[in-house]
Structure formats: structure tokens, C-alpha cells
Amino acid sequence: MSATRLPKTPKPMSFAFALISRNRKSFAKSCLVTLTGAKGPCICLVLVLFLGIASVMAQSQQNTAAQNSAGSSSQEAGAPAAGTEGVVKVVHVKYVDVRRIRDLLDFFNVPMRADPALKVITLSGPPERVMAVEEAIRQLDVPAPPPQDVVITGYLLMATRQTSAETANVQEEEGSWALPEMAGASVPSQLDEVINQLKRVLNYKDFSVVDALTLRTVDGGGASVSGLTPIGRMYDYHPPNRNALTLGPNVQAQVSFRIDRSASIIRREGTSSVSIRELRLIVRPEAPNSSPATIFTDIDVGQNQQVVVGKTDVLSPDLALFLVISAKITD
């Protein structure tokens, strides 16, 4: 009777050694050694285990790389570095707009939240960055300088192309107009040059300053003033002397003088001026068949200078109304 030789079985220790190996090359080599002595289902089992373990090791390496990349991005975005404890600070703002500060300091790359109602800014991040932002806020949060006062004076000049009837000894026509009677009124010395220029250029011979209107405001503000002003007298016959013309009483006018938009100080090297936007003068005579006269413009006036703003007829072509203004900046 002949003996039957059984196939040689692989040693289990060689396969176990392959399972605990950390090196895939060693694992593959061990599997090849094992496969030389194994057949059938054993071969399939070894292949499945090899592929599964290789997939797990590859996924582990990908997860590690993703974690490293996320940590680097977090540090670039201003988050505390690994091992560094972040801080949170609430900074109170007294004088300036918290939203403007937040936008201005955004380049620090520190997370900030602004609450306009509470006037606070919340900071969070690494201590050194938070301290830098807090110091920048402290330097920006200062009170604005007090606004300077602006005084605009408007002189109303009534002018005629003829001298007064008493001086020229001429006979005026009934219904014509003359300058108003201003008891004790005199032309301010600062207007002498302006009046002389108007006499030369426009051939006006007689002037009367009927009013000086003052507007007081702050830098960038507006103002208005109104009231009654005498603007002229009419020649007429008055009993008992019906053979000669006499001048009637002063005719009043409602005057409105205002800055509708703003009077802003403009500072240049060695000088300052006031830029007036929407300066308006309205004169409404209290006389029959009369229409309002208006001057409306934008103008720049140097400090302590006198500038002719405009001219308009009032009551009749016999009279002209000039507006001359000056500006003064006070501390």
C-alpha cells in the first residue's frame, strides 16, 4: 500500500508577520512568499486583505495632509497659531463712528464687530494683533476741533444815475423815484473803493447804504435773516403847494437774506476764504404794481474783502439795488 503525500500547508506565522508590517513593500514581499505555498481560496483572501490595508493607509495620509493645510489657512486668516491662546477685547469708542474705524483698520486682519448703538468694537485674535488694533483705535478716537464761526455781512446799496434833486436843482417828473431818506446814515469806509468803482464803470452818481444784514453761522452751516428796509421815495404833488413836486415818505420792502446751503471755510497757504453755496437775496417792495427783486448765486469771498455779488432793478429803472458782501472768520 502506497502512502499519499499531502500538500504542504503554509506556516501561519509568515502571514501574521505580513499583517503587522508597517511597510507596504515588506507586506507585498511577505504576501508573495505566502502565495508560493498557498492555493485556491487562500490566494483570494490574501489579495483582498492586501488591497484593503493599502487603501486605509493611503486615506490616512490624505487626511493628515488636509489637516496640515487647514491649520496653515487658519493662521493666515488671523486665527491664533497652534499653541497660542487667542484673546477677546471690547473697546469703547467715544467720539468717532465705530463703522468707519472698523473699515479703516480692516487691514490688520483681526476679526472685528462694530456696534454703533453701544459705540463699541469687539476684537478677537492673537494678543499682539489685538493690542495693535486697540492702540490704533485709541489714536483715532479723538474729539474733532470745534467749528469756527463765519460772519457774512451783506450791504444793500441803492444807486441812481442822477444826483439828488436838491443838489442838481433839476425838476423831476411825477411818479419817478429817488433814493430813500436815511437820517444820520453814512457809507462805511470799507465800501468807499467799491462805490468809486461802480461810479466809474457803471456811471452811477449817487449811492445810499440802506441796510447792513449780518449772517452768523459755523463752518459748513447755513443762516438767514429778514426784515423791513427803506428802498426809495416817489416824487408827487402834495397840497397846498400844487405847483412843485415833493418827495413822499420812504417805501419799505420785505428783505430776506440767507445762505440756503452752506458757508464753508477754505484754507490756503497764507490766506483763507469762505465758499458760499446758494446765497439768496429777495426784496419785495410794499408798493403798488411792484415785483420782487432777486439775487441768487454761488460765490467765494476772501476774508475781510468786499465783493459785489449782483445788481437788480427795484421799483423802477430809476433805481438799482447792489448787494455787496464781506466775510470774516472768527475763532
CA pair distance 295, 147, nearest whole angstrom: 28
Same-domain check for residues 171 and 101: no
Is the residue at 65 inside a domain? Answer: no
**In contact, 298 and 310? CB cutoff 8 Å:** no
C-alpha cell at 49: 486583505
Same-domain check for residues 155 and 135: no
Is the residue at 237 inside a domain? Answer: yes
- The mean per-residue pLDDT over the stretch 270-295 comes to 92
Same-domain check for residues 130 and 191: no
C-alpha cell at 182: 436815511
* Side chain identity at residue 121, one-letter code: I
Q: What's the confidence (pLDDT) of residue 317? A: 80
**In contact, 104 and 70? CB cutoff 8 Å:** no
Burial class (CB in 10 A: 0-12, 13-18, 19+), 7: exposed
Q: What's the confidence (pLDDT) of residue 292? A: 92
Q: What's the confidence (pLDDT) of residue 81? A: 52
Same-domain check for residues 217 and 325: yes
Same-domain check for residues 201 and 253: yes
pTM metric for this prediction: 0.59
Q: What's the confidence (pLDDT) of residue 75? A: 44
pLDDT band, residue 60 (cuts 50/70/90): low
Is the residue at 184 inside a domain? Answer: yes
Q: What's the confidence (pLDDT) of residue 169? A: 43
- Spatial CA neighbour of 306 closest among 157, 147, 149: 157
Q: In the 3-class helix/strand/coil scheme, how is the chain assigned residue by residue?
A: CCCCCCCCCCCHHHHHHHHCCCCHHHHHHHHHHHHCCCCCHHHHHHHHHHHHHHHHHHHHHHHHHHHHHHHHHHHHCCCCCCCCCCEEEEEECCCCCHHHHHHHCHHHCCCEEEECCCCEEEEEECHHHHHHHHHHHHHHCCCCCCCCEEEEEEEEEEEECCCCHHHHCCCCCCCCEECCCCCCCCCCHHHHHHHHHHHHHHCCCEEEEEEEEEEEEECCEEEEEEEEEEEEEEEEEECCEEEEEEECCCEEEEEEEEEEEEEEEEEECCEEEEEEEEEEEEEEECCCCCCCEEEEEEEEEEECCEEEEEEEEECEEEEEEEEEEEEEEEC
Count of CB atoms situated within 10 Å of the CB of 12: 9
Same-domain check for residues 127 and 162: no
Which of 110, 140, 170 corresponds to the end of one domain? Answer: 140
Higher pLDDT pick, 188 / 72: 188
Supply the Cα-derived Rg of the chain in whole angstroms.
48
Is the residue at 225 inside a domain? Answer: yes
**In contact, 307 and 325? CB cutoff 8 Å:** yes
Domain hosting 46: range is 12-58
Which of 21, 40, 58 corresponds to the end of one domain? Answer: 58
189 Rama sector, left if φ>0, alpha if ψ -120 to 50, beta otherwise: alpha
Same-domain check for residues 319 and 182: yes
Same-domain check for residues 159 and 307: yes
Same-domain check for residues 228 and 289: yes
Q: What's the confidence (pLDDT) of residue 39? A: 47
Q: What's the confidence (pLDDT) of residue 270? A: 80
Which of 79, 107, 140 corresponds to the end of one domain? Answer: 140
Phi, psi of 303 (to 5 degrees): -60, 130
Whose cell is 449782483? That residue is 310
C-alpha cell at 288: 403798488
Same-domain check for residues 39 and 171: no
CA pair distance 6, 251, nearest whole angstrom: 143
Number of domains within the chain: 3
Same-domain check for residues 104 and 192: no
Same-domain check for residues 153 and 134: no
- Spatial CA neighbour of 208 closest among 317, 325, 322, 326: 322
Is the residue at 54 inside a domain? Answer: yes
- Spatial CA neighbour of 213 closest among 153, 280, 299: 153
CA angle 28, 33, 35 (to 5 degrees): 90
Q: What's the confidence (pLDDT) of residue 21? A: 45
Is the residue at 204 inside a domain? Answer: yes
* Mean of per-residue pLDDT scores for the chain: 77
- List, for residues 186-205, the tens digit of each pLDDT value: 778 889 999 988 888 888 88
Is the residue at 46 inside a domain? Answer: yes
Is the residue at 63 inside a domain? Answer: no
